[in-house]
């Protein structure tokens, strides 16, 4: 099971936008079936938004969080390396 990474309000907005996108795409698809490629893609994107809202998990948010954690840990190790390079181990002066 995946851990939810979006809030309740964000999930409700995603579900609403997903249903809106699916209804728009299917309405366009029934009027112009020869243009099925772009409208089918929009319907699939709407379905993805509905799934993200129901599960409260967004893969893009997850990847962004992982990337930012990785960047933060790299910066911390770099700062530690620079700090140890400039520090000296002289005994304290009395």
pLDDT, one tens digit per residue, over 48-78 is: 999 999 999 999 999 999 998 888 888 878 7
**pTM for this predicted structure:** 0.71
**49, 69, 72, 82, 85 from 76: Cα distances, Å:** 35, 11, 6, 10, 14
Ranking 2-6, 25-29, 75-79, 87-91 by mean pLDDT, the lowest is 87-91
């Amino acid at each position: 099971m995946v851990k939810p990474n979006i809030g309740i309000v964000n999930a409700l907005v995603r579900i609403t936008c997903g249903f809106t996108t699916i209804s728009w795409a299917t309405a366009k698809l029934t009027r112009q079936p020869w243009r099925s490629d772009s409208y089918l893609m929009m319907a699939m994107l709407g379905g993805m938004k509905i799934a993200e809202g129901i599960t409260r998990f967004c893969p893009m948010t997850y990847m962004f969080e992982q990337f930012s954690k990785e960047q933060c840990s790299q910066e911390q190790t770099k700062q530690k390396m620079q700090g140890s390079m400039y520090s000296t181990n002289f005994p304290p002066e009395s």
